[in-house]
Amino acid sequence: MTPKSIDWKKETLDYTFLVLGSALFAVADVMFVNPYHLAPGGVYGLANVFYALWGWKISLAGVCMDIPLLIIGTLILGPKFGVKTVVSVILIPIFTYIMETTWGYKPLIHDGLFDSPDGLPNCLSYMVGDVEHYFLPDMFLNAVAAGLIYGVAIGVIFRAGATSGGSDIISMIIHKYTKISLGTVVLVVDSCISLTTLLIGDIRLPIYSIILIFIESKIIDLIVDGMKSYKTMFIITDRCDTVRDYIIHDLDRSGTCLAGTGLYKGNERKMIYVTLDRADMVKLRSNLHRLDPDAFVNIMDSSEILGFGFKELPKE
C-alpha cells in the first residue's frame, strides 16, 4: 500500500476509536468489574480473579498474558492480527494502569461505603493503599452498567479494525486444530474464565459475570452492525410483475427476479429476491395477500448488507 493510497481520514478515525475504546475498557474493568470480583471472559477477566486472590495488579497481569499470547498466536496462526490489534494490546494496560493509580479499585456503583464490616454481612471490600474499606454491592445494576460500557469499548475497538487480543487468540488456536466453530469456542473459553470466580468463594460471581457477557455481546452487535435491521424476502409468485411494480414504485426499492421449477409438479415459477429494512418489509408483507394471495414467502434476518443502496463495500 503506497502512502497516496492510504485513506488518512479513515485511519485517523480508526485510531481515535482505538484510543477511546481502550480507555473505556479500562474504565469498565477498574471501576465496575474489579471491585465486584467479576470475570467477564478474556485475559482481563482472569486478571481480575488473580487480583482478588493474590493482589496482582490488573494491568501487569493483563500485559503479561496478552503479549505472550500475541506472540504464540502469530507463530501458530500467522501475522493476521495487524498493527491495530498490537496497538490495542499496548493501550489497554496503559489506560488500566492510569486508572489503577489515579482512581484505585473503589467501586463507582454501591449502596454505601464503610470503614468497618461490622453489621454488613454481604459487603465487599477494596484497598486504598494498605487500608481495607468496605461497601454494600448492587450486583445487578453494576453488571448491567459494566456490560454496557464493556460492550461500547469492545465494539468501538472492533469498528476500528482491531481486537482486544487475549482469549480471542486462544479461541482461534483451538478452532484451528479442532474445527469447532469459532463462536462456540469463544463461548466455552469465556465461560470457563467466568467460572474461575468460584475460586473467590461466591456463587453469585459467575452468574453476574455471564449476565455482563450477555449484555456486552448485544452492545457489541449494536455498535458493529448498527441499529438498522434488514430482512431478506424470497417471494415465489405467479404475479411477478404485480409484486415487482409494488416494490419498485411503492417502496422505491429494487430486487432480483429468479426463474425456478417447482419440485412437485415441475411447473416454471418466478421468485423475487429482495432485501428491505424492517418498515418496508412490514408494508410488503401486509400487501402480499392483495398482490398475490397464493404467494409463498420466506423471510430471513440479514445481519449485514453490502452494496448499492446499503452499506458501502469495504475498501482494501
CATH number at residue 239: 3.30.70.120
The number of C-alpha atoms within 13 Å of 309 and in the hemisphere containing its C-beta is: 10
- Are residues 111 and 176 located together in one domain of the fold? yes
- Last residue in a domain, options 225, 241, 274: 225
- Are residues 165 and 253 located together in one domain of the fold? no
pLDDT reported for residue 1: 47
Q: What is the mean pLDDT of residues 69-93?
A: 86
Q: What is the mean pLDDT of residues 150-173?
A: 84
Q: What value, to the nearest 5°, has the Cα angle with vertex 34 and ends 30 and 37?
A: 170
Residue 227 has pLDDT above 80, yes or no: no
Instruction: Report the share of the chain in percent with pLDDT over 90.
Output: 51
pLDDT band at 170 (very low <50, low <70, confident <90, very high): confident
Cβ burial, residue 94 (10 Å; 0-12/13-18/19+): middle
- Are residues 94 and 158 located together in one domain of the fold? yes
The residues facing 134 across adjacent strands are 114, 125
Q: What is the mean pLDDT of residues 258-264?
A: 83
Question: How does pLDDT run across 23-65, given as a tens digit for each residue?
Answer: 999 999 999 999 999 999 889 999 999 999 999 999 999 999 9
Tell me if 309 is assigned to some domain: no
- Last residue in a domain, options 181, 205, 225: 225
pLDDT reported for residue 316: 55
Contact 126, 35 (CB under 8 A): yes
pLDDT band at 235 (very low <50, low <70, confident <90, very high): very high
pLDDT reported for residue 279: 79
Residue 191 has pLDDT above 80, yes or no: yes
- Are residues 260 and 208 located together in one domain of the fold? no
- Are residues 253 and 204 located together in one domain of the fold? no
pLDDT band at 185 (very low <50, low <70, confident <90, very high): confident
User: What is the extent of the structural domain holding 293?
Assistant: 230-302
- Last residue in a domain, options 184, 200, 225: 225
Tell me if 308 is assigned to some domain: no
Q: What is the mean pLDDT of residues 219-245?
A: 84
**Three-state secondary structure call for residue 235:** strand
- Are residues 208 and 110 located together in one domain of the fold? yes
Give CA–CA dist 274/233, Å, rounded. 5
pLDDT band at 269 (very low <50, low <70, confident <90, very high): confident
Residue 166 has pLDDT above 70, yes or no: yes
Residue 171 has pLDDT above 90, yes or no: no
**Residue in 270, 288, 274 with CA at minimum distance from that of residue 232:** 274
Residue 183 has pLDDT above 80, yes or no: no
The number of domains in the chain is 2
pLDDT reported for residue 80: 66
- C-alpha distances in angstroms, 240 versus 16, 88, 256, 292, 296? 49, 52, 11, 9, 12
Average pLDDT, whole number, for the chain? 87
